[in-house]
Structure 1
């Protein structure tokens, strides 16, 4: 993947960048130990209602144990803006991910108030779902009428043909399809959760294995 970056003097430079990796839904210190060993680029704390949900106190403890070279993403669904801002201001999260029905005005408000990047999740069932956003990144996930995310199912990646810009790809990614996803869709970052779990809990061996697999794909 080629990413165009602006150098300090404003001159564009082009560099080959490996696909980034996000491991989402961490809720235990064992999970933190696993990602510290595997070293993905991002991890996710889910503050929305789910079996992976964490509260502010738990997230603070987990963030303190997290390798500082790994960015923590807070995942929210129609969450009170004041609480999101507080989490960012306290350094518990480094990036905000909005996974609900939030308006673009909320995206801009959070960018202005926190100064941290915002990811806007879009649930994809047809091409019209792939819409623009003022967020720093878009995340494409599987549409499920019964929930906002975390279904563990993949969607039709053909729908992303021709999609430009840096985006995160989520939805049912695991060791059996991750290479195909990267080669077909060419995402900025792949976002994994259930695909690195065993019996509903993050699996250290699966996390380390898939991070190594992805690094080799783009190595």
Structure 2
């Protein structure tokens, strides 16, 4: 079954939504973004999160000590890195599942994938100066049925209208949605519900 990650939670209402709708993962952003939260906010949100939902921390070129503090305090399940983090950096987090995000515009970008010794590769649209949550998808034909020996996470512009096509073309293990389930910059219960239903209808 395709798993689902709802990313960019920042309000207690968001936690209530996901606790009812039961995605597999939720993401908390600790990087410059409209969805950025502080460690203190993260503590408040994670303690209210259903324990069956895995918590993912999203980071961009943060100091090792800062990531370690956030990850251990919140008891995160997954660390997702969007910056210039290399294998040496990411190997410091052996007690966590680690995903590396890569922006995709052409097949050339896929050459980077196999150099990373991580548990999952997240493929996202590449937008200059932005790290995810852009609402823009990329050309999925580039990675149509692309095979890697890691979890493949599809992100970038997904919503309830296009997620089935994305799953059909890419065959990911996980789909990751953020702006596609928002109204005026805030998570929307009905949009999350529709997205999850569409994914779970796929075989």
TM exceeding 0.5? yes
Q: Deviations over 1:64-118 (max 9, x none)?
A: 000000000000011111111122222342110001111121111222xxx0100
Q: Check if 1:26 corresponds to 2:6.
A: no
Q: Which moved more, 1:148-157 or 1:158-167?
A: 158-167
Q: Does 1:73 align with 2:56?
A: yes
CA contact (8 A) 1:152 1:195 kept: yes
TM-score (norm 2): 0.94
Per-residue CA deviation, residues 157-190 of structure 1 (Å, 9 max, x unaligned), is: 1111352132100000001101101111110000
Question: Does structure 2 conserve the Cα–Cα contact (< 8 Å) formed by 1:152 and 1:194?
Answer: yes
DSSP-derived class of the 2:74 partner: coil
In 2, Cα distance between equivalents of 1:150 and 1:41: 19
Is 1:120 the counterpart of 2:100? The answer is yes
Kindly indicate whether residue 26 of structure 2 is the aligned counterpart of residue 50 of structure 1. no
1:26, 1:45 within 8 Å by CA — same for their partners in 2? yes
1:209, distance to aligned residue in structure 2 (A): 1.6
Distance 2:73 2:129 in 1: 33
Cα distance in 1, alignment partners of residues 101 and 41 from structure 2? 24
Deviating more after overlay: 207-216 vs 159-168: 159-168
Gaps of 5+ in 2: none
CA shift for structure 1 position 212: 1.5
2:190 is matched with: 205
Q: What is the distance in 2 between the residues matched to 1:144 and 1:159? A: 17
Q: Does 1:190 align with 2:175?
A: yes
Moved over 6 A (4+): none
Number of residue pairs the alignment of both structures matches: 198
What is the Cα-based RMSD across aligned positions, in Å? Answer: 1.1
When the two structures are superposed, what TM-score results if normalisation uses the length of structure 1? Answer: 0.87
In 1: Cα distance, 2:73 partner to 2:86 partner: 24
Distance in 1, Cα, partners of 2:29 & 2:129: 18
Instruction: For 1:148 and 1:21, locate their aligned partners in 2 and report how far apart those are by CA, in whole Å.
Output: 19
